Amino acid sequence: MKKSKKLIALLLAAVMLFALAACNNEETPGTGDEVGTTAGSATDTYTIGICQFVQHDALDAATKGFQDYLTEQLGDRVEFSYQNASGEKTNCTTIVSQFVASNVDLIMANATDALVAAAAATEDIPILGTSITDYATALQIDNWTGTTGMNISGTADLAPLDQQAAMIKELCPDAKEVGILYCSAESNSKYQADVVAEELQKLGLTSTVYTFVDTNDVQQVTQTAVDNSDVVYIPTDNTAASNTEAINNVAEAAGVPIIAGEEGICKGCGIATLSISYYDLGRKTGEMAYDILVNGADPATMPIEYSDGLTKKAVTERCEALNITVPEGYEAIVLEDETAAQ
């Protein structure tokens, strides 16, 4: 009987020791489950889902810069799942839902509609936006402080709108009426249009907004805009960027100059822009992704980053055709057909 009791006591002690060891091996609550707070090791591999809203030069460059930076830093330890939404919001929703189901390590959302879809799809997976004009507008955040307080951060492509308005006055000093042309479905385009309209008013210019709904009515709305304007301004707008040939055909025939919010649109149909490098913006987004994945940074507290440099650029061929004198300090944009001829 004594031997039996002694055996039972030994067994109980062994069970208690095993339970204690198991408890000590458990992850401390709150130290590994938050978004972007667990630092990676030198052998970790990462899968990143990239949702790009539409294919055009600016967004393509941002995606390339993002991938290039992370590939340089991580080599074959990073894998990209790239999906293009072809300009359809519903496709963005489908794409990011697939990323969430696959439990990717990070989502890069290229353009506002991709960011909005990603934000609605997950509160856990880190999200970085790029080519976003205004995060407060995109995410409907009041009392903006520079960080989202969510699982989201990223880079913005907004060039100073007051300087863009001043460029209109500088290049077209005799202009009185400015048409502001953009897609009504893009909230960040409206934000830019509203600010530019205020800045133009300060400069003594009158502005009228002309909005198209989608690709189908771009040509018709552009015709109305050029018929009633001395010069047209187009903000960074993905639908416009995908339809520059149609816009240029109308504006060129009417002899009306276009000032654009970014270089891709300018190259397609404009005379000048205050340009950022979308490739560099993508690389900056890649730096932020590395900080989240490898160093455990929390996107909720990471400030939105902006482009480091701005450059005034002009399409000299179009300016000459319109008898517009380009002031000093502008860098020439070389059109593709000119490059091929050289």
**∠ at Cα 41 (19, 48), nearest 5°?**
110
Exposure class string for 230-256: b at 16+ Cβ within 10 A, else e: bbbbbbbbbbbbbbbebbbebbbeeeb
How high is the pLDDT of residue 34? 47
Same domain, 77 and 195: no
Shared domain check, 253 and 129? no
| 21 against 43, higher pLDDT | 43
pLDDT of residue 244: 97
3-state DSSP assignment of residue 252: helix
Average pLDDT for residues 130-158, to the nearest whole number?
95
Edge to edge, the sheet with strand 152-156 lists 78-84, 46-52, 106-110, 127-132, 152-156, 305-306
- Is 298 found in the same domain as 267? no
Q: Is residue 130 part of a domain?
A: yes
Q: How confident is the model at residue 308 (pLDDT cuts 50, 70, 90)?
A: confident
Residues 327 and 288 reside in one and the same domain = no
Residue 6 lies in a domain: no
> Residue 41 has what pLDDT?
65
Instruction: Kindly state whether residues 118 and 179 are assigned to the same domain.
Output: no
Is it the case that residue 121 has pLDDT exceeding 50? yes
Q: For 262-286, what is each residue's pLDDT tens digit?
A: 999 999 999 999 989 999 999 999 9
Q: Which domain holds residue 215?
A: 161-275+310-341
Q: What is the pLDDT of residue 207?
A: 98
Residue 79 domain-assigned (yes or no): yes
pLDDT band at 9 (very low <50, low <70, confident <90, very high): very low
C-beta separation of 226 from 232 below 8 A:
yes
Percent of the chain beyond pLDDT 90?
81
Is the same domain home to 316 and 186? yes
Are residues 190 and 329 located together in one domain of the fold?
yes
**CA-CA-CA-CA torsion for 250, 253, 255, 261, nearest 10 degrees?**
30
Residue 342: the pLDDT is 38
For the chain, what is the domain count? 2
Determine, yes or no, domain membership for 291.
yes
24 within domain boundaries: no
335 and 203 in a common domain: yes
111 and 70 belong to one structural domain: yes
Pair (296, 183) in one structural domain: no
pLDDT score recorded for residue 97: 98
Is 114 within the bounds of a domain?
yes
pLDDT of residue 35: 56
Is 33 domain-assigned?
no
Q: What is the chain's mean pLDDT, rounded?
A: 88
What CATH number should be reported for the domain holding residue 151?
3.40.50.2300
Residue 8 lies in a domain: no
**198 and 132, same domain (yes or no):** no
| Residues 167 and 259 grouped into a single domain | yes
